Amino acid sequence: MLQLKPLDEHVPIFQQLGAEVSPVVLINVFQVAKEDIPALLEAWEADANWMKKQPGYISTQLHQGIAGSTTFLNYALWESSTHFRAAFNHPEFKQALAHYPSSAVASPHLFTRLTVPNLCVGP
């Protein structure tokens, strides 16, 4: 079963799910035991394939830390926090969390783009 650990202790994902923001970027950092990497990848792939069928889903990308790291980072783009909330709270998704290895810890967090003149284009 996947364990959830807040990326921001002051504003955990469950609090963020109540916000109405469009669009949003999900950043999810995973920690897993080395021997459980194949099981993590299998569970993540199944979840990603399910999520991409949900309304409001745009795209996703998974990354692994280099040099033997067992840290993974996923980012996913969603049309809105409302769309992500519906997928995240869906019973099928919640059941899928049981397929992750017991060593897996995820830290999901929602973000919005910012504008920084001459550097970043925001919404």
Architecture of domain 3-111: 2-Layer Sandwich (3.30)
pLDDT tens profile 6-51: 999 999 999 999 999 999 999 999 999 999 999 999 999 999 999 9
pLDDT for position 85: 98
- Residue 115 has a CB neighbour count (10 Å cut-off) of 9
Q: For the chain, what are the domain ranges?
A: 3-111
Contacts 24+ apart (CB under 8 A), 91-98: 92/50, 93/47, 93/50, 93/51, 96/43, 96/46, 96/47, 96/50, 97/1, 97/2, 98/1, 98/2
- pTM recorded for the entire structure: 0.94
Of 82, 16, 83, 76, whose CA–CA distance to 56 is shortest? 83
Q: How confident is the model at residue 66 (pLDDT cuts 50, 70, 90)?
A: very high
CA dist 101 and 43 (Å) reads 8
